[in-house]
Amino acid sequence: MTRLLAEIIFLIGVFGWGAIRIPHEVKNKRKNRVQVSAVDSRERRLLLISLTGLGIVPIAYCLLAGFGLLRFADYGFSTLQAYAGALAFAASLALFLATHRQLGRNWSQTLELREGHTLVTHGVYRLVRHPMYTAFFLWALAQLLLLQNWIVGPAGFIGFGLLYAFRVGREEAMMHEAFGAEYAAYVARTKQIIPYVY
């Protein structure tokens, strides 16, 4: 394993994520209308911050290696660390695939409820309430381990961590309002992102 290979693996992971997400997005836009939307400028800013940390910064770092972008912050390359990162990305993509399948037409990139929205509590949603966010944290972990740079590595955790911290409460409030006691019971028996822990 080399630094270059680790960066290629990261880019393949991002590409794989797009291959899961984009067809889903296209299908969803065509089919079902949004009924409730809690999207505002704060939510849009958070999405942009997350996109920057998990996407723009690491992709630019990998693709613009020839220009030496942020290379001053590289640290000594560890092969073992990079393998662990590849594993984390594989786990992230598997979880992404499961959450997209199981949320089905209830999926939305942001805080929205669709016409005929149902509460999903099966599959990976039986283990935690926000498995898709778990998958994003696994991506952030993969980035930290694969891109061995003091700035680019942690950028995903910072970007997605902010989105998560400021969004999850509002998302749960929206779900409470829509599903009432059914959601309260679901909250009582599940954790947010790590089964049995948190």
- Residue carrying the six token digits 């947010």: 192
- Stretch binding ligand SAH (CB under 6 A), from 63-71, 77-85, 112-120, 139-147: 112-120
- DSSP label of 191: B
Within 81-110, the residues that bind ligand SAH by CB under 6 A are 99, 103, 106-108
Are the beta carbons of 130 and 192 closer than 8 angstroms?
Answer: yes
Between CA 67 and CA 21 the distance in angstroms is: 30
Binding mask 117-156 for ligand SAH (x = CB under 6 A): --xx----x----xxxx-----------------------
Smallest separation (angstroms) from ligand SAH to the CB of 120: 4
Smallest separation (angstroms) from ligand SAH to the CB of 77: 33
Note whether 52 binds ligand SAH by CB under 6 A: no
Which residue number, 50 or 130, has a Cβ lying nearer to ligand SAH? 130
Which residue number, 62 or 132, has a Cβ lying nearer to ligand SAH? 132
Note whether 113 binds ligand SAH by CB under 6 A: yes
Beta bridge mates, 187: none
Phi first, then psi: what are they for 112, rounded to 5°?
-145, 150
Are the beta carbons of 8 and 88 closer than 8 angstroms?
Answer: no
Are the beta carbons of 29 and 23 closer than 8 angstroms?
Answer: no
Beta bridge mates, 191: 128
Which residue number, 61 or 133, has a Cβ lying nearer to ligand SAH? 133
- By CB atoms closer than 10 A (0-12, 13-18, 19+), residue 150 is exposed
Residues that bind ligand SAH (CB under 6 A): 99, 103, 106-108, 111-113, 119-120, 125, 130-133, 171, 175
